[in-house]
Amino acid sequence: MRYRLALLLFGLLLAPRLQAADHAAILLYHHVSDDTPASTSVTPETFRRHLDFLDSGGFTVLPLGRILESLASGTPLPDKTVAITFDDAYRSVLDNAAPLLKQRGWPFTVFVTTQAIEDGYHDYLSWDDLRKLIAEGAEIGNHSYSHAHLVRQLEGESSQQWHRRVEEDIRLAQRQLKEHLGITATLFSYPFGEYTAELQKIVGALGFYGIAQQSGAVGPGFDRLAVPRFPMATHYADMERFSVGVNARPLPVSDVSAGPRVQTAGETAQYRFAFDVTPGDFRLAALACYTSAGERLALTRQNDPGHTRISLQLPEWGAGRRKINCTAPSAKERGVFFWYSQLWLVKQADGKWYEE
């Protein structure tokens, strides 16, 4: 009774503009600038159009930490909830993004690579800049000290040595955030969006949510150590894709089998990717899976009581970060897709890591 009363009061407070929901979309930006690399940038004008879309579309922008805590505890969110995040703490966040967000009174999250701040790297924010952003509504997350490829063991490094090095890298960043900003971050963004089960264990043991870079919405039962975000950059930031991202719903999947997270070029096609899908408000018959390059993949389906098993063979991938996105259109809302994505890290055929 008390729980139902709380839900009723929540609904009255939000009505008529907002309804209760159990999902959210998270946006990822790096640079907001006209003169930075296109692969990690949106222009200030594109960013403005994104914010205008959210404003006119009745979206609610909340801090990422609050969204994840609400979902983890089963607390309803406003319908059409979005979080806006920035990785690396580039100066353009302060110069070009923050003023537009401040105009609307919207919060945002900045994931900080602390070595860049400590060493005064060009084009990065300073500690004073970050304090200013906090005063204007920014939430700060940990993005490691070094921004190294944390999943990689160094030559001659044992697994135990790797574990100690990576844990200390993350702890050092946490200490510096506490020392300079007075905050204890609860969110950790994986550098380059790369993670393995071993890295996830470290991040989880340190008490963080692990924030990833593969696309998808977040909802009930989400993986606390692989929280999806929709990356926004020049070639993936047009208004059609932006609309798809912010309107996305989480596809209800379980019993995922994906083969090894780290594979080698030339062997990937021997593995299969499979998962169960529970029926929902989407057209399961129209579910499709694509590589991040847009190649549609052949699926097999097995209908069982209460769920459908989806299975596909992994492509013959070359080296790099590789993703598969699986989507199913809503049965009720045009332009709305239920979304699930998975990440693999593929080494070169000689076993060496790919280069950036």
For residues 229 and 288, state if they share a domain.
Answer: no
- How many separate helices (H) and strands (E) can be counted in the chain? 10, 22
pLDDT at 19: 67
C-alpha closest to that of 261 among 342, 150, 154: 342
Q: Which residues of 20-48 are buried (b: 16+ CB within 10 A; e: fewer)?
A: ebbbbbbbbbbbbbeebeeebbbbbebbb
Last residue of a domain, one of 248, 270, 287: 248
Residue 340 counted as domain residue = yes
Q: Which residue has the higher pLDDT, 331 or 14?
A: 331
C-alpha closest to that of 114 among 102, 123, 122, 126: 126
- CATH number, position 308: 2.60.40.10
Beta-sheet strands, E only, within 262-317:
262-264, 272-277, 288-291, 296-297, 300-304, 307-313
For residues 34 and 167, state if they share a domain.
Answer: yes
Number of independent structural domains in the chain: 2
Per residue in 149-171, pLDDT (tens digit) is 999 999 999 999 999 999 999 99
For residues 186 and 106, state if they share a domain.
Answer: yes
Last residue of a domain, one of 188, 220, 248: 248
- CATH number, position 214: 3.20.20.370
CA distance 31 to 39: 10
Residue 282, φ and ψ in degrees, nearest 5: -140, 160
CB 20 within 8 A of CB 10: yes
113: number of Cβ within 10 Å: 23
Per residue in 71-115, pLDDT (tens digit) is 999 999 999 999 999 999 999 999 999 999 999 999 999 999 999
Question: What is the total residue count of the chain?
Answer: 356
CB 53 within 8 A of CB 232: no
For residues 244 and 282, state if they share a domain.
Answer: no
Amino acid at 253: V
Residue 356 counted as domain residue = no
Residue 282 counted as domain residue = yes
Residue 180 counted as domain residue = yes
CA distance 228 to 212: 5
Per residue in 203-258, pLDDT (tens digit) is 999 999 999 999 999 999 999 999 999 999 988 899 999 999 999 999 999 999 99
Question: Burial of 16 by CB count in 10 Å (0-12 exposed, 13-18 middle, 19+ buried)?
Answer: exposed
What's the distance, CA 277 to chain centroid? 21
C-alpha closest to that of 205 among 238, 174, 250, 249: 174
For residues 125 and 32, state if they share a domain.
Answer: yes
For residues 194 and 223, state if they share a domain.
Answer: yes
For residues 91 and 220, state if they share a domain.
Answer: yes
Residue 352 counted as domain residue = no
CB 166 within 8 A of CB 154: no
C-alpha closest to that of 42 among 31, 54, 53: 31
Q: How confident is the model at residue 262 (pLDDT cuts 50, 70, 90)?
A: very high
For residues 243 and 334, state if they share a domain.
Answer: no
This prediction's pTM: 0.93
Last residue of a domain, one of 195, 227, 248: 248
For residues 194 and 324, state if they share a domain.
Answer: no
For residues 230 and 269, state if they share a domain.
Answer: no
C-alpha closest to that of 206 among 182, 223, 185, 233: 185
Q: What is the mean pLDDT of residues 330-335?
A: 95
Residue 195 counted as domain residue = yes
Residue 112 counted as domain residue = yes
Please report the DSSP string for 63-98 in residue order: -HHHHHHHHHHT--EESSEEEEEEES-BHHIIIIIH
**Rg of the Cα atoms in the chain:** 20
Q: What is the mean pLDDT of residues 2-6?
A: 34
* 3-class DSSP assignment, residue 51: helix
For residues 104 and 214, state if they share a domain.
Answer: yes
Residue 212 counted as domain residue = yes
CA distance 26 to 87: 13
For residues 155 and 288, state if they share a domain.
Answer: no
Domain span holding position 282: 254-347
